[in-house]
Structure 1
Amino acid sequence: MIYLLLCILCSVLLFLAFRSYKTFKINTLQAVVVNYYICVVTGWITFGKTSQLSLISFQNPWLKYTLMLGAAFMLIFFLTALTTQLVSVTVGSLASKTSLVIPVIFSLYVFKTQQKAFDWINYAGIVLALVAIVLSTIKKEKTSSEKSQVSSSNGRNFLLALSVFLLSGLSDTSLNYLNYAHIRPETNAMFLIILFGVAALTGTLFVIFRVLTGKDKLLVRNLVGGIYLGIPNFFSLYFLLKALSAFNNDGAFIFPILNIGIILFSSILAVILFKERLSRMNQVGILVAILAMFCIAYQEIMKYIQG
């Protein structure tokens, strides 16, 4: 459980980092690309060993999947940003977060890695988790222009949201599968270093294109933003792999708890640190999230209470 809590903590720190970008006018794309390079450096300094270079071989089955997944990381970010800009923040957020249903389904019916037999209370918890995510992330549109954007180009908007939903879900499912079938404890660090390295190189192409076309400028503050994003980002994924291993790669348990845990603590910190106001619907969403966590993990909670 400690790895899951640490993963939630690091993910909440990511939220705080992203939240600060608006305040300091940091270019998110540039900061994210820098963050991937910082992830590589963090992983190498913390866990990297010269002997692990021997792991970089196409004979290792996980390497080719890692290369594809690393490129997908940047693509998912780009599509999520595009959905947020062209459709709405709410749609982009919901498409990303509700995608947890995909790794849950794969974990239950394909990998069959759940540690316990799921009963109706556990399944109800998964449904409640989706409801909680929807309720807690819905925000009011601020301008009439945003509303017109949502109603226009419906086909394009639907395809963007669907792409974010599918790619985010398949990305989490791929992590679950790789950790279950191929990655071993001794290869965790090298897996992440290569993963973030490929994402960094892919993202660099986006940045170069935008700079050369005059859409963006390289600024020092974007570099700084990427530095303080990169360290918690590396460890959020590292602790996710550890949590999956600790729970026998039970994605049906890990991903719902992880997502609603992040939303719960992020919402609390947003109110305390940034004085954000939660709507009545958001408040209901947080209460539903707490109920969902209990339903999904009630067997573990009862065992702990009973000693």
Structure 2
Amino acid sequence: MYTLILSIAFSVAVSIFLKLARRGDIRVDQAIAVNYVTAVVLSLWLLRPPLDTLFERPPAAWLILGLLGILLPSVFLVMAAAVRRAGIVRSDTAQRLSLILPILAAFLVFHEAVSGRKALGIVLALCALACLLARPRHTGNGAPSSDAPAPDTAAAASTDVSDDEAHGSAARGWLTLLGVWAGYGCIDILFKQMARLGAGFTGSLLLSFILAGLLMGLWLLARRTRWHARSLASGILLGGLNFSNIYFYIRAHQTFPDNPTLVFAAMNIGVISIGTLVGAGLFRERLSALNVLGIALALGAIVLLFPR
């Protein structure tokens, strides 16, 4: 169980880092690139994968690695685009609703047995998710909620913006949200598949970090990025947190190989529950009665999903 708790804790720490990065003039794309370099170094130092057999993997394993190498950096970038186009709250909601995909995969792909207790736990988990994501639509003075994306001042000043352009912008916003939802859900499923590799997962984890780092680095070079020292240095911290989150997440799947729903649900619900509490305590975010109810439902869901 400690593997799951540690994975949740490090995932929340990553979220806190990304939230503070916006305030600290940290360019997240550059920090993400260094994050993968750090993860490669930590994999070599702590996991010590057998390098002599590093590339000796079956085709199915290479498919998983290739997909992770593409998705890990891509979803970061899609999430950033979603935040710009659709707002922070909607983007976070899309990420958390991705829980639906791995839960479906637990039964359809990994052939997990369904019981009444487990079904009730899933229902409670989804209800908890709805309660935790609930935010007031208006502030006390009637101002709009924070889930609305920031207006473009140039567009707001213009009076001749066509309906087609407005619809196109909205469509692109929804496409980025769909990308966040599908991307995070697929990554969860791929990590479960990696966990099933057994002892060979350390080498696979190293290769996925190398591929992700290469793609992120090439993307930054293609954009002719001007490097920012603070952002590059902060990537070392992000890499340590992200490496620990992914490592313990895979270990949790190995600890509960026959109960992927527990890991999928506990991870998503645990992260957003603790994140909600941290937001209230550290960032002065208000908790509604529904949010508190969501935390209680989340605890109940995890208890029901936990094997006897």
TM category (shorter chain) comes to 0.7 to 0.9
Amino acid across the alignment from 1:278: R
For normalisation by structure 1, the TM-score amounts to: 0.84
Quote the Cα distance in structure 1 between the aligned partners of 2:277 and 2:305. 26
> Alpha carbons of 1:245 and 1:59: their partners in 2 closer, same or farther (altered >3 Å)?
closer
> Alpha carbons of 1:225 and 1:36: their partners in 2 closer, same or farther (altered >3 Å)?
same
Matches within 5 A, 1:127-166: 127-135=126-134, 140-141=146-147, 145=151, 152=167, 153-166=169-182
* CA-CA distance at 1:127 after TM superposition: 2.2
Matches within 5 A, 1:208-247: 208-210=221-223, 212=224, 216-247=225-256
Q: What is the CA deviation profile of residues 156-202 of structure 1, one whole-angstrom value per residue up to 9, with x for unaligned ones?
A: 2222211221122122112223323xx11x22221111111111111
Question: 2:70 touches 2:211 (CA, 8 Å); kept in 1?
Answer: yes
Question: 1:121 touches 1:296 (CA, 8 Å); kept in 2?
Answer: no
Are 2:258 and 1:259 aligned? no
More helix by share: 1
Matches within 5 A, 1:1-307: 1-49=1-49, 51-59=50-58, 61-113=60-112, 118-135=117-134, 140-141=146-147, 145=151, 152=167, 153-180=169-196, 183-184=197-198, 186-210=199-223, 212=224, 216-274=225-283, 276-280=284-288, 283-298=289-304, 300=306
Q: Which runs of 4+ in 1 moved over 6 A?
A: 146-149
Please, which runs of 5 or more residues in structure 2 have no aligned partner?
A: 138-144, 157-165
Partner of 2:161: none
Question: 1:39 touches 1:196 (CA, 8 Å); kept in 2?
Answer: yes
Q: Percent identity?
A: 22
> Alpha carbons of 1:85 and 1:245: their partners in 2 closer, same or farther (altered >3 Å)?
same
Quote the Cα distance in structure 2 between the aligned partners of 1:225 and 1:136. 31
Quote the Cα distance in structure 1 between the aligned partners of 2:189 and 2:134. 24
Please, which runs of 5 or more residues in structure 1 have no aligned partner?
A: none
Question: 1:67 touches 1:194 (CA, 8 Å); kept in 2?
Answer: no
* CA-CA distance at 1:233 after TM superposition: 0.7
Question: 2:78 touches 2:179 (CA, 8 Å); kept in 1?
Answer: yes
For normalisation by structure 2, the TM-score amounts to: 0.84
Question: 2:32 touches 2:235 (CA, 8 Å); kept in 1?
Answer: yes
CA RMSD of superposed structures (Å): 2.7
Secondary structure of the structure 1 residue equivalent to 2:146: coil
> Alpha carbons of 1:200 and 1:121: their partners in 2 closer, same or farther (altered >3 Å)?
same
Amino acid across the alignment from 1:100: L
Q: Which moved more, 1:117-126 or 1:17-26?
A: 117-126
Amino acid across the alignment from 1:98: L
Quote the Cα distance in structure 1 between the aligned partners of 2:178 and 2:276. 26
